[in-house]
Amino acid sequence: MKTSRIEEYLDSLFPNPTCELIYHTDYELLIAVVLSAQSTDKRVNQVTPILFSRYPTLYDLSNANLEDIEEIIRPVGSFHKKAYYVREIAALVASHRGMVPRDREVLMKFPGVGRKTINVFLSEYYQEPAIAVDTHVERISKRLGLARPKDDVLTVEKKLMKAFPKEVWGKRHLQMVLFGRYHCKAIKPECGPCPLKDICHEKKKNF
Protein backbone atom coordinates (compact mmCIF):
# COMPACT_ATOMS: atom_id res chain seq x y z
CA MET A 1 0.00 0.00 0.00
CA LYS A 2 2.69 2.46 1.08
CA THR A 3 4.97 1.38 -1.77
CA SER A 4 2.21 1.68 -4.35
CA ARG A 5 1.45 5.24 -3.19
CA ILE A 6 5.12 6.13 -3.58
CA GLU A 7 5.21 4.53 -7.03
CA GLU A 8 2.07 6.35 -8.13
CA TYR A 9 3.46 9.69 -7.04
CA LEU A 10 6.80 9.09 -8.73
CA ASP A 11 4.98 8.07 -11.92
CA SER A 12 2.87 11.21 -11.82
CA LEU A 13 5.93 13.45 -11.34
CA PHE A 14 8.25 11.69 -13.76
CA PRO A 15 6.32 9.43 -16.17
CA ASN A 16 9.30 9.01 -18.50
CA PRO A 17 12.46 9.66 -16.48
CA THR A 18 15.77 9.85 -18.31
CA CYS A 19 19.39 9.98 -17.26
CA GLU A 20 20.62 13.58 -17.32
CA LEU A 21 24.23 12.73 -18.15
CA ILE A 22 25.22 13.50 -21.73
CA TYR A 23 27.04 10.70 -23.59
CA HIS A 24 27.40 9.19 -27.05
CA THR A 25 29.17 5.88 -26.45
CA ASP A 26 29.34 3.22 -23.76
CA TYR A 27 32.71 4.40 -22.46
CA GLU A 28 31.60 8.03 -22.43
CA LEU A 29 28.71 7.01 -20.19
CA LEU A 30 30.92 4.97 -17.88
CA ILE A 31 33.40 7.82 -17.52
CA ALA A 32 30.61 10.36 -17.00
CA VAL A 33 29.18 8.23 -14.16
CA VAL A 34 32.64 7.93 -12.57
CA LEU A 35 33.10 11.70 -12.81
CA SER A 36 29.68 12.28 -11.22
CA ALA A 37 30.77 10.81 -7.85
CA GLN A 38 30.49 13.54 -5.18
CA SER A 39 29.59 15.97 -7.97
CA THR A 40 26.53 16.85 -10.04
CA ASP A 41 25.38 15.79 -13.51
CA LYS A 42 25.32 19.47 -14.45
CA ARG A 43 29.03 19.88 -13.72
CA VAL A 44 29.88 16.62 -15.44
CA ASN A 45 27.97 17.77 -18.53
CA GLN A 46 30.07 20.93 -18.56
CA VAL A 47 33.37 19.06 -18.76
CA THR A 48 32.72 15.87 -20.76
CA PRO A 49 32.03 17.57 -24.13
CA ILE A 50 35.41 19.31 -23.77
CA LEU A 51 37.16 16.11 -22.66
CA PHE A 52 35.75 13.92 -25.44
CA SER A 53 36.27 16.49 -28.18
CA ARG A 54 39.88 17.07 -27.08
CA TYR A 55 40.45 13.29 -26.98
CA PRO A 56 37.99 11.83 -29.51
CA THR A 57 39.18 8.20 -29.37
CA LEU A 58 40.05 5.72 -26.64
CA TYR A 59 43.59 5.74 -27.94
CA ASP A 60 43.79 9.54 -27.56
CA LEU A 61 42.30 9.44 -24.07
CA SER A 62 44.45 6.59 -22.82
CA ASN A 63 47.57 8.44 -23.99
CA ALA A 64 46.54 11.86 -22.74
CA ASN A 65 48.69 13.89 -20.38
CA LEU A 66 47.29 13.46 -16.87
CA GLU A 67 47.66 17.13 -16.02
CA ASP A 68 45.74 18.13 -19.14
CA ILE A 69 42.86 15.84 -18.14
CA GLU A 70 42.97 17.28 -14.62
CA GLU A 71 42.67 20.79 -15.97
CA ILE A 72 39.60 19.89 -18.04
CA ILE A 73 37.76 17.98 -15.32
CA ARG A 74 38.72 20.27 -12.42
CA PRO A 75 35.10 21.57 -11.95
CA VAL A 76 33.82 18.11 -10.93
CA GLY A 77 36.15 17.93 -7.91
CA SER A 78 38.59 15.19 -6.83
CA PHE A 79 40.21 15.83 -10.19
CA HIS A 80 43.60 14.22 -9.42
CA LYS A 81 42.22 10.77 -8.84
CA LYS A 82 39.40 11.14 -11.37
CA ALA A 83 41.88 12.09 -14.12
CA TYR A 84 43.78 8.90 -13.32
CA TYR A 85 40.53 6.89 -13.45
CA VAL A 86 39.59 8.42 -16.81
CA ARG A 87 42.90 7.51 -18.42
CA GLU A 88 42.99 4.01 -16.92
CA ILE A 89 39.38 3.27 -17.87
CA ALA A 90 40.09 4.41 -21.45
CA ALA A 91 43.08 2.05 -21.61
CA LEU A 92 41.10 -0.86 -20.13
CA VAL A 93 38.16 -0.37 -22.48
CA ALA A 94 40.60 -0.20 -25.40
CA SER A 95 42.06 -3.51 -24.25
CA HIS A 96 38.54 -5.02 -24.33
CA ARG A 97 38.21 -4.39 -28.08
CA GLY A 98 36.96 -0.88 -27.49
CA MET A 99 33.81 -1.94 -25.68
CA VAL A 100 32.93 -1.57 -22.01
CA PRO A 101 32.61 -5.15 -20.74
CA ARG A 102 29.04 -6.09 -19.84
CA ASP A 103 30.29 -8.07 -16.89
CA ARG A 104 30.02 -6.95 -13.27
CA GLU A 105 33.08 -8.84 -12.06
CA VAL A 106 35.28 -7.40 -14.79
CA LEU A 107 33.93 -3.91 -14.27
CA MET A 108 34.55 -4.09 -10.51
CA LYS A 109 38.25 -4.25 -11.33
CA PHE A 110 38.16 -0.92 -13.19
CA PRO A 111 39.57 1.94 -11.08
CA GLY A 112 36.94 4.28 -9.68
CA VAL A 113 34.16 1.87 -10.59
CA GLY A 114 32.03 0.41 -7.79
CA ARG A 115 28.66 -1.21 -7.42
CA LYS A 116 26.66 2.00 -7.80
CA THR A 117 28.50 3.02 -10.97
CA ILE A 118 28.00 -0.43 -12.47
CA ASN A 119 24.29 -0.37 -11.65
CA VAL A 120 23.86 3.03 -13.28
CA PHE A 121 25.86 1.96 -16.35
CA LEU A 122 24.14 -1.40 -16.93
CA SER A 123 20.71 0.02 -16.24
CA GLU A 124 21.15 3.05 -18.48
CA TYR A 125 23.13 1.53 -21.36
CA TYR A 126 21.70 -1.98 -21.49
CA GLN A 127 18.40 -1.51 -19.61
CA GLU A 128 19.45 -4.26 -17.22
CA PRO A 129 17.31 -4.36 -14.07
CA ALA A 130 19.30 -2.61 -11.35
CA ILE A 131 18.78 -0.02 -8.64
CA ALA A 132 21.72 2.26 -8.06
CA VAL A 133 21.63 3.77 -4.59
CA ASP A 134 23.12 7.23 -4.70
CA THR A 135 22.74 9.94 -2.08
CA HIS A 136 19.23 10.90 -3.32
CA VAL A 137 17.93 7.34 -3.46
CA GLU A 138 19.31 6.58 -0.01
CA ARG A 139 17.84 9.73 1.54
CA ILE A 140 14.38 9.26 0.04
CA SER A 141 14.28 5.56 0.90
CA LYS A 142 14.97 6.40 4.53
CA ARG A 143 12.57 9.34 4.67
CA LEU A 144 9.77 7.24 3.26
CA GLY A 145 10.48 4.21 5.41
CA LEU A 146 11.53 1.97 2.55
CA ALA A 147 14.76 1.50 4.51
CA ARG A 148 15.89 2.10 8.09
CA PRO A 149 18.04 5.11 9.03
CA LYS A 150 21.03 2.94 9.86
CA ASP A 151 20.90 0.76 6.74
CA ASP A 152 24.02 0.83 4.58
CA VAL A 153 23.67 1.37 0.84
CA LEU A 154 23.75 -2.31 -0.03
CA THR A 155 20.93 -3.01 2.43
CA VAL A 156 18.94 -0.11 0.99
CA GLU A 157 19.47 -1.52 -2.50
CA LYS A 158 18.26 -4.97 -1.44
CA LYS A 159 15.18 -3.52 0.25
CA LEU A 160 14.29 -1.48 -2.82
CA MET A 161 14.75 -4.53 -5.05
CA LYS A 162 12.25 -6.32 -2.82
CA ALA A 163 9.83 -3.41 -2.68
CA PHE A 164 9.64 -2.67 -6.43
CA PRO A 165 8.95 -5.06 -9.32
CA LYS A 166 12.13 -5.99 -11.18
CA GLU A 167 10.91 -4.57 -14.49
CA VAL A 168 10.78 -1.05 -13.03
CA TRP A 169 14.01 -1.01 -11.00
CA GLY A 170 15.83 1.23 -13.46
CA LYS A 171 12.85 3.56 -13.78
CA ARG A 172 12.40 3.86 -10.01
CA HIS A 173 16.09 4.66 -9.61
CA LEU A 174 15.85 7.50 -12.12
CA GLN A 175 12.61 8.79 -10.61
CA MET A 176 14.05 8.83 -7.09
CA VAL A 177 17.17 10.64 -8.29
CA LEU A 178 15.03 13.31 -9.97
CA PHE A 179 12.66 13.51 -6.99
CA GLY A 180 15.64 14.05 -4.69
CA ARG A 181 17.30 16.52 -7.03
CA TYR A 182 14.27 18.75 -7.63
CA HIS A 183 11.74 18.17 -4.81
CA CYS A 184 12.80 16.05 -1.85
CA LYS A 185 16.13 17.85 -1.46
CA ALA A 186 18.57 17.13 1.33
CA ILE A 187 18.14 20.62 2.78
CA LYS A 188 14.74 22.31 2.74
CA PRO A 189 12.74 19.68 0.86
CA GLU A 190 9.63 21.02 -0.84
CA CYS A 191 7.16 19.24 1.40
CA GLY A 192 4.19 21.58 0.89
CA PRO A 193 2.69 19.90 -2.19
CA CYS A 194 4.02 16.41 -1.40
CA PRO A 195 1.20 13.89 -0.91
CA LEU A 196 3.50 11.50 0.97
CA LYS A 197 3.74 13.64 4.11
CA ASP A 198 1.69 11.22 6.20
CA ILE A 199 4.16 8.40 5.63
CA CYS A 200 7.32 10.51 5.64
CA HIS A 201 9.67 10.26 8.59
CA GLU A 202 11.13 13.67 7.75
CA LYS A 203 7.84 15.50 8.12
CA LYS A 204 8.21 16.20 11.84
CA LYS A 205 11.34 18.20 11.13
CA ASN A 206 9.67 20.33 8.47
CA PHE A 207 6.15 20.97 9.79
Whose Cβ is closer to ligand SF4: residue 150's or residue 187's?
187
Q: How far is CA 75 from CA 19, 28, 43, 70, in A?
A: 20, 17, 7, 9
**Cβ closest to ligand SF4, residue 44 vs residue 140:** 140
DSSP secondary structure letters along the chain:
-HHHHHHHHHHHH-SS-------SSHHHHHHHHHHTTTS-HHHHHHHHHHHHHHS-SHHHHHTS-HHHHHHHHGGGS-HHHHHHHHHHHHHHHHHTTTS--S-HHHHHTSTT--HHHHHHHHHHHH--------HHHHHHHHHTTSS-TT--HHHHHHHHHHHS-GGGHHHHHHHHHHHHHHTS-SSS---TT-TTGGG-TTHHHH-
Q: Smallest distance from the beta carbon of 20 to ligand SF4, in angstroms?
A: 20
The correct pick among 5, 158, 159, 203 for binding ligand SF4 (CB under 6 A) is 203
Instruction: Name which position in 17, 112, 170, 189 contacts ligand SF4 (CB under 6 A).
Output: 189
Task: From residue 68, give the alpha-carbon distance in Å to each of 2, 71, 182.
Answer: 50, 5, 34
Does position 2 bind ligand SF4 by CB under 6 A? Answer: no
Catalytic residue among 2, 41, 60, 116: 116
Asked about 134 being catalytic, the answer comes back as: yes
116 is catalytic: yes
In this chain, which of 136, 150, 191, 204 binds ligand SF4, going by CB under 6 A? 191
Applying CB under 6 A, the site for ligand SF4 has a residue count of 13
Binding mask 110-149 for ligand SF4 (x = CB under 6 A): ---------------------------------xx-----
The nearer residue to ligand SF4, 81 or 185, going by C-beta atoms, is 185
Q: Which is nearer to ligand SF4, 11 or 128 (CB)?
A: 11
Candidate list 26, 82, 134, 171, residue with the active-site label: 134
The residues assigned a catalytic role are 116, 134
Residues making contact with ligand SF4 (CB under 6 A): 143-144, 183-184, 189-191, 194, 196-197, 200, 202-203
